[in-house]
Amino acid sequence: MPKKFIDKKEALTFKLVHRSQRDINYISEEGDVSPWVLEPKIETVRMSITSSFRYLTTDKERDYQKAERIIPSLPEEVFASEESVVPQTDVRELFFEADEDIVQALEGESEEEEAWEEIDDDFVSQANKGNFDYGPSTRTVRFGDEMEEDEEDDDDYGEDNKFRVEVKRSTKGQSAQRKIFEETFETMVKKYDDQFIGELDEETGRKEGGIKLEDMEDVFDEYLAKENSDRHTIKGKENEYGLDPDTDQFESGEEDEELDAPIDPSDPNVDVTSVKSRRSVKTFGTKSTSRPTAVWDMCIQKYLNEEYLEKEERERKAAVALEEEDEEEKWDCQSVVKNHPGIIIEKTNRKIVLSNKSGLPVGVLPQKPKRVVEEEEEEDRENKGTKRDKEETKEDKKNRKKQIKEERAKSRLQKKALKEAFKSEQSQQQSQITPTTGIEAQVWIALGVVPHLVSAVVVP
Amino acid sequence: MASAAVAAPPAHKPKAGYEQTEEEQSFHRIRITLSSRNVKSLEKVCADLIKGAKDQRLKVKGPVRIPTKVLVLTTRKSPCGEGTKTWDRYEMRIHKRVIDLHSPSEVVKQITSISIEPGVEVEVTIAQSN
């Protein structure tokens, strides 16, 4: 293949759009600035088809790299400018009937700012200079006077104080490059769900174990008892670690009165288990390194032995275990028998029955496959709306009508054939079931039933 | 350095007055795709573009006419199903033209200052040929 003129992967695509009215360069009078602008086109490229969905993605990073290369090489006027300008407005245009004070206030040129702070109670009458008239007619007259005043004043104020709003909002106007950059960011952010953006939640659910402190109470008892007995035997070792042999604490250690005092179980304020646990734990820091894990080990042992479970729970668990055992080893009478290997036997309980008509055994010889009626396509029956040519000659009309008639005749014949087929089939089946000759037939007749007319007999 | 466009005829000699050297300016390969539903305005814009480019002495590949796409909607005329089955056939034709240029950066400005008719969509694809 010959080399492509433009490789899409290396090229940037733009759309030609009208320049925004808020663009700084939007000056329709001057000729050198074009009213058109190149705006980058964000292309979606189907990157892969995976399982049941296709996702449209863009290679944004590459787009940005391309942009960095290509855009600076093009003249600036071709792109929309970054800065935007709100078109200028003159306040006087907006408020034709404005009071001088208001205009002054807007323009910010009032020197007497103190005058604004204090308003007397009768400021209305003061404003109207004593003439207080609500009538609309007088009002216009009034305004007429004021307007004349304003016009005179206008010359004084002149063009220096034209009220101009120039807002440079760099957030609105964007250069082409910046736009691509923002698109890149947006696609990246979209990868993350809302819940994953932002700080981590403080409470992501407290994790708790299944063992209650109370269950371990006897463990703590055991441990503490053991420790107390040991204390008197391993004195030497304690001295080695700098412990005070009498109090079992570091020389500089703190004394905890609450923990060391004897526990009064009847005291409601004291949580016996927690005190015991804390005592046990406290020994961690004071005993030698081999001992601190003792409490922990004992707790673990107890957990493993499941002693901490309450009695009922334990029994329940045992019961479940028993049940499972039973099922595994249960042997059924039938399963026992079935599992014994035996000889392969072909057993048939059916008696050989001869058919009345042919004398051959029924259900033994292969049956001839019945002739299947040719199924015509159903679609032919649909009316697809064949147009009737407007300029149809008589012959054409005849032909068309003839065709339709033929089709109808054909379908009639088919219908008849189908009906006949059904009837014959039914009668065949009937004759196979009900006997027409022989002893059985006589029995039927005696009962008052005519065999060949037994169409009321339902064929199972 | 020089662009490696195979399509450039090898016997191309710079015309008199054609002062730009390829080393000084980076040439861009530009593909302009114009699409519209209306042939007349489309052809007009095409002609303007090509004329403008030729005035600038640029290498232009004339408007390549992509086969027009005809989008057809066939619907029953009747709101109910009764009557002879008559059908309506609505269609929309989309015409597309492609123009290729080689131009230096400054001239890209000129492209944007052509007059464009309403209804014609212009897409510009730019690649650097360095």
As a whole number, mean pLDDT of residues A126-143 equals 59
Looking at residue A59, its pLDDT comes to: 62
Q: Give pLDDT, residue A159.
A: 45
Q: Is B123 on the interface with A (CB under 8 A)?
A: yes
| Span between the terminal Cα atoms of chain B, in Å | 6
Number of structural domains in chain B: 1
- B105, A404 Cβ separation under 8 angstroms: no
With 0-12 CB in 10 A as exposed, 13-18 as middle and 19+ as buried, what is B111?
buried
Inter-chain contact B126–A12, Cβ cutoff 8 Å?
yes
Q: Which residues of B touch A5 (CB under 8 A)?
A: 5, 7, 29, 31, 61, 100
Domain contains B52: yes
At residue A237, the pLDDT reads 47
φ, ψ at B88 (rounded to 5°) = -100, 145
Q: Which of B42, B76, B126, B128 to mutate to test the interface with A (most CBs of A within 10 A)?
A: B126
Which domain range does residue B118 map to?
A: 28-61+97-127
Q: Which residue has the higher pLDDT, A102 or B79?
A: B79
pLDDT for res A148: 47
Residue A259: its pLDDT value, please? Answer: 57
Nearest to A247 by CA among A269, A224, A228: A228
Supply the mean pLDDT for chain A: 68
Q: Helices H, strands E: what count in chain A?
A: 16, 6
Alpha-carbon torsion (A143, A144, A146, A151), positive or negative? positive
Q: How far is it between the farthest Cα atoms of chain A?
A: 138
Neighboring chain B residues of A388 at a CB cutoff of 8 Å: 84
Distance CA B108, CA B128 (A): 12
pLDDT per residue as tens digits for the range A310-347: 666 777 777 777 777 666 667 777 777 677 777 788 87
Inter-chain CB proximity B113 and A10 less than 8 Å: no
ipTM of this predicted structure: 0.71
CB-CB neighbours of A13 under 10 Å: 20
Could you tell me the end-to-end alpha-carbon distance of chain A, in angstroms, rounded to an integer? 73
The shortest CB-CB distance from A5 to any of B84, B100, B112 is to: B100
> The tokens of A319 are what?
């019961």
Residue from the list A69, A74, A387 with its beta carbon closest to the beta carbon of B108: A74
Alpha helices, H only, A287-393: 293-305, 311-329, 333-338
- Residues in CB range of A169: below 8 A, 6 or more apart: A83, A84, A86
Residue A148: both structure tokens together: 């004349």
Q: Return averaged pLDDT per consecutive 10 residues of chain B, 130 residues in all.
A: 45 48 65 93 92 87 91 92 91 93 81 82 84
Confidence of residue A80 (pLDDT cuts 50, 70, 90): confident
Of B85, B122, B126, which has the smallest distance from its Cβ to A70's Cβ?
Answer: B126
For the cut 80, the answer to whether the pLDDT of residue A95 exceeds it is: no
Residue B118 domain flag: yes
Report if residue B87 sits inside a domain.
no
Instruction: Flag whether residue B121 sits within 8 Å of chain A, measured between CB atoms.
Output: yes
Written as six digits, the tokens of A423 are 């009837």
Would you state the structure tokens that stand for residue A72, as one six-digit string?
């600076």
- CA-nearest residue to A78 within chain B is B109
Q: How far is B56 from chain A (nearest CA, A)?
A: 16
Amino acid found at A182: E
In a domain, B74, yes or no: no
Q: What is the pLDDT of residue A293?
A: 66
Per-residue pLDDT reduced to its tens digit, A209-230: 767 777 778 888 888 888 777 6
Q: Which residues of A29-42 are buried (b: 16+ CB within 10 A; e: fewer)?
A: eeeebbbbbbbbee
Q: Which residues of B touch A11 (CB under 8 A)?
A: 29, 31, 125-127
Q: Least CB-CB distance to A385: which of B84, B121, B122?
A: B84
| CB-based contact A5 B29, cutoff 8 Å | yes
Tokens representing A69? 């290369």
Pick the residue with more confidence: A291 or A24?
A24
CA neighbor of A387 nearest in space, from B30, B48, B85 = B85
Residue A73 has its nearest CB partner, among B84, B105, B121, at: B105
pLDDT at A57: 52
Which CATH number goes with the domain that contains B49?
A: 3.30.70.600
pLDDT bucket at A201, cuts 50 / 70 / 90: low
Query: Rounded to whole angstroms, how far apart are CA atoms A191 and A453?
Result: 79
C-alpha B1/C-alpha B25 separation (Å) is 10
**Residue B38 near residue B32 (C-beta atoms within 8 A):** no
pLDDT for res A108: 63
Q: Which residue of B has its CA nearest to A32?
A: B113
Q: Does the CB of B8 have a partner CB in chain A at under 8 Å?
A: no
pLDDT value of position A21: 78
Integer Cα distance of B26 and B20 in angstroms: 11
Number of H helices, E strands in chain B: 2, 4
Q: CB–CB of B87/B109 below 8 Å? A: no
pLDDT score at A379: 46
Gap between the Cα atoms of A190 and A186, Å rounded: 6
Q: What are phi and psi of A362, to 5 degrees?
A: -80, 140
CA distance A403 to chain B (A): 18
Q: What are the φ and ψ backbone dihedral angles of B39, each rounded to 5 degrees?
A: -70, -40
Mean pLDDT within A155-174? 43
User: Which residues of B, range 15-34, sit inside 8 Å of A by Cβ?
Assistant: 26, 28-29, 31
What does the radius of gyration of chain B's CA atoms come to, in whole angstroms? 21
Please state the rounded mean pLDDT for residues A173-195: 76
Q: Which residues in chain A have their CB less than 8 angstroms from residue B59's CB?
A: none
Could you read off the pLDDT of A371-418 as tens digits, one per residue?
A: 665 555 544 556 666 677 777 788 888 998 999 999 999 999 988 888
Region A57-80 average pLDDT: 73
Does residue B37 form part of some domain?
yes
Give the pLDDT of residue B88. 93
**Dihedral sign for Cα atoms in the order A79, A187, A190, A206:** negative
Cα atoms found within 13 Å of the Cα of residue A57, Cβ hemisphere only: 16
Q: Is B122 on the interface with A (CB under 8 A)?
A: yes
Q: Note whether B26 contacts A73, CB cutoff 8 Å.
A: yes
Give the mutation candidate from B109, B110, B122 for the A interface (greatest A CB count, under 10 A): B109
Asked whether the beta carbons of residue A13 and residue B124 sit closer than 8 angstroms, the reply is yes
pLDDT score of A252: 44
How does strand A45-50 pair with strand B120-128?
A: unpaired
Give residue A142's pLDDT.
47
- Better pLDDT: A231 or A169: A231
The reply to whether B79 falls in a domain is: no
Cβ(A176)–Cβ(A79) under 8 Å? yes
CA distance A345 to A422: 42
Beta carbons of A13 and B123 less than 8 Å apart: yes
Q: Which residue has the higher pLDDT, A172 or B70?
A: B70
A389–chain B nearest CA distance, Å? 12
For residue A387, the model assigns a pLDDT of: 72
φ, ψ for residue A17 (rounded to 5)?
Answer: -130, 160
Task: Select from A80, A70, A56, A79 the least CA-distant residue to A9.
Answer: A70
- Residue carrying the six token digits 């736009």: A179
A80 touching chain B per CB within 8 A = no
pLDDT at A139 over 60: no
Output the 3-class SS for A111-147. Answer: CCCHHHHCCCCCHHHHHHCCCCCCCHHHHHHHHHHHH
**What is the mean predicted confidence (pLDDT) over A50-77?**
67
pLDDT at A413: 92
In the predicted structure, residue A238 carries a pLDDT above the cut 50:
no
* Extents of the domains making up chain A: 13-44
Candidate from A10, A11, A36 with C-beta closest to B112: A36
Amino acid symbol at B3:
S
- Pick from A16, A41, A69: CB nearest B116: A16
Residue B14 maps to a domain: no
pLDDT tens sequence across A3-26: 888 887 788 888 888 888 777 777
Strand partners, A17: A37
pLDDT at A169: 41
Tokens matching residue A55: 């996702």
Instruction: Determine the residue of chain A that is closest to B99 in CA distance.
Output: A5
Q: Is the pLDDT of residue A90 over 50?
A: yes
Q: Which helix (H) or strand (E) holds A5?
A: none
Q: With beta carbons less than 8 A apart as the criterion, state whether A71 and B28 touch.
A: no
Higher-scoring residue by pLDDT: B92, A266: B92
